[in-house]
A = this chain, B = another copy of it.
C-alpha cells in the first residue's frame, strides 16, 4: 500500500470573536487529505486532518517542506514493519527530516495536521474508530465509552452585555454541558468580576465555571486576579501569564489554592516538560491542556504523556485544547480527563458529530471507522471540496 496524494488548502474559521489577546476574525485553518491506494467500501481510504483554532493555516510549510518530503519518501518508510498500514511514527521522522531542534511553533502545527489525517487513515484501514484503536495499542484496551467535555465560550463579543453572557451559558447547559469556561482579562478586574458573578448565577456554582486569561496578565495582575478569584472555588484559572514564563507559573501556583490550567501554547514534549519541571504545578490539582494537533500530532502527544507519567502525573489531568473529534478520540482511547468543546464558535472546525448528544457533560463517541469527520456535515463539506477533482 502507499500514499498516492496529499492535498491541502486553507479555510477561514467563522468566528467574529476576540479573547483578551487576539481577534479571531482573520483566523484560518489548514485542511489536509492523505489519499491512499487502500480500498474500503469500494473507495480509496482518505484520512482527513485540520489544525485546531488559535494558530493559523500552515500552507507554506506544508507545501514547501512537509508534503514534498512525504511524497518523495520511499513508500515503505511510511508503513508499519509488516506493510499493512501507515505508520505515523515513521511518517513523523520523514516529515521532520532536516529540521533542527527547538523553535516549536507553526511547523508543529503543519506536522500535527498531517498527523491527524494519518491517524484517521490508519483507523479507517483497520475499520475501527480511532479511540478503540488507540485504547488497544496504547492503553491496555481500556476505552472510555464516554468523555467529559466542557463548553468553552464567554468571549468578549463586541457589544456583548452580561445578559448575553448568561444567555450563552444557558444555551450550553441546555445542550447538556455541566460546566462552562469564560474569558477574562479583556476588561478590568471589576468588570470581569461582574461577568463572573453573572455567569455563576447561571451555572450554579464555582465548580461549574472556569476562567481563561489567555496569557494576558503580568505577574502582579495575575496575582491580583488570583486573590479575587480565590474564594469562588472555580473549576480552574487558565493561562494567567505568558505560557513560557514557568517561574511566573510557579509563583501563581504557590499563591492560588484552586486548580490552574495551562499548556495550549506549548507545542512539543520538551516545552511541556519544562512546564512540569519549572512551573510549580501540582499533579493532584492542576490541568494540562496541551493540544495534540498544534504540537506535532499524536505521535508527539504520546511522548508527552510518557513524560508526564514519569513525572508522576496521571493522564486524567490532561484535558486538551482543540475542541474536535480527533482530541475526543484521543481522550477516550488514552484515558484523559476530558476534552474542550466550542459549541458556538470556530465553525466548521469546532465541535463533534452532528448527531452527538451530551448528557451531564459526557459525550458518547460514534462508532464509525476513523475519526468520524464524515459525521460532521459542515466540516465534511470542506474536505469534499478539497478532494473534488483531485487525483485519487
Q: Give residues in A with beta carbon < 8 Å to B.
A: 10, 21-24, 26-28, 54-61, 63-65, 97-108, 214-215, 242-247, 265-268, 270-271, 273-274, 277-278, 294
How far is B107's CA from A349's CA once the two chains are assembled, in angstroms? 23
How near does chain B come to A127, taking the closest CB pair, in angstroms?
36
- Contacts A23-B98, A98-B23, A274-B274 given: A103-B267 contact, CB under 8 Å? yes
Which residue of chain B lies nearest to A247 when distances are taken between CB atoms in the complex? Answer: B277
Question: Across the interface, do A274 and B267 meet the contact criterion of CB distance under 8 Å?
Answer: no
Residues of B within 8 A of A107 (CB): 105-106
Question: Across the interface, do A245 and B265 meet the contact criterion of CB distance under 8 Å?
Answer: no
Other contacts beyond A58-B60, A106-B107: 10, CB < 8 A: A27-B98, A60-B64, A61-B106, A102-B105, A102-B215, A103-B108, A103-B265, A104-B244, A106-B106, A246-B278
Residues of B within 8 A of A26 (CB): 98
How far is B96's CA from A22's CA once the two chains are assembled, in angstroms? 10
Question: Across the interface, do B267 and A102 meet the contact criterion of CB distance under 8 Å?
Answer: yes
Question: Across the interface, do A100 and B244 meet the contact criterion of CB distance under 8 Å?
Answer: no
How near does chain B come to A79, taking the closest CB pair, in angstroms?
23
Question: Across the interface, do B278 and A274 meet the contact criterion of CB distance under 8 Å?
Answer: yes
The residue in A22, A61, A99, A106 that gathers the most chain B C-beta atoms within 10 A of its C-beta is A106
Question: Across the interface, do B56 and A103 meet the contact criterion of CB distance under 8 Å?
Answer: no
How near does chain B come to A124, taking the closest CB pair, in angstroms?
29
- Contacts A102-B105, A278-B278 given: A64-B54 contact, CB under 8 Å? no
- Contacts A64-B59, A244-B271, A270-B244 given: A54-B215 contact, CB under 8 Å? no
How near does chain B come to A249, taking the closest CB pair, in angstroms?
11
Which residue of chain B lies nearest to A59 when distances are taken between CB atoms in the complex? Answer: B60
Residues of B within 8 A of A55 (CB): 100, 103
Can you pick out 12 interface pairs between chain A and chain B where the beta carbons lie within 8 Å of each other?
A: A23-B98, A24-B98, A59-B60, A101-B243, A101-B244, A102-B267, A103-B108, A103-B265, A104-B105, A104-B244, A246-B274, A277-B278
Q: Which of B61, B65, B104, B265 contacts A100 (CB 8 A)?
A: B265
Residues of B within 8 A of A215 (CB): 100-102
Q: Which of B63, B98, B242, B274 contacts A22 (CB 8 A)?
A: B98
Question: Across the interface, do A242 and B266 meet the contact criterion of CB distance under 8 Å?
Answer: no
How near does chain B come to A18, taking the closest CB pair, in angstroms?
9
Residues of B within 8 A of A278 (CB): 246, 274, 277-278
Which residue of chain B lies nearest to A107 when distances are taken between CB atoms in the complex? Answer: B106
How far is B242's CA from A125's CA once the two chains are assembled, in angstroms? 36
How near does chain B come to A296, taking the closest CB pair, in angstroms?
12
Residues of B within 8 A of A104 (CB): 103, 105, 244
Residues of B within 8 A of A101 (CB): 21, 215, 242-244, 265
How far is B69's CA from A54's CA once the two chains are assembled, in angstroms? 18
Question: Across the interface, do A54 and B100 meet the contact criterion of CB distance under 8 Å?
Answer: yes
- Contacts A60-B63, A106-B105 given: A22-B99 contact, CB under 8 Å? yes
How near does chain B come to A155, taking the closest CB pair, in angstroms?
14
Residues of B within 8 A of A265 (CB): 100-103
How far is B61's CA from A59's CA once the two chains are assembled, in angstroms? 9
How near does chain B come to A342, taking the closest CB pair, in angstroms?
16
How far is B348's CA from A253's CA once the two chains are assembled, in angstroms? 50
The residue in A24, A64, A97 that gathers the most chain B C-beta atoms within 10 A of its C-beta is A64
Question: Across the interface, do B98 and A266 meet the contact criterion of CB distance under 8 Å?
Answer: no
Residues of B within 8 A of A57 (CB): 64
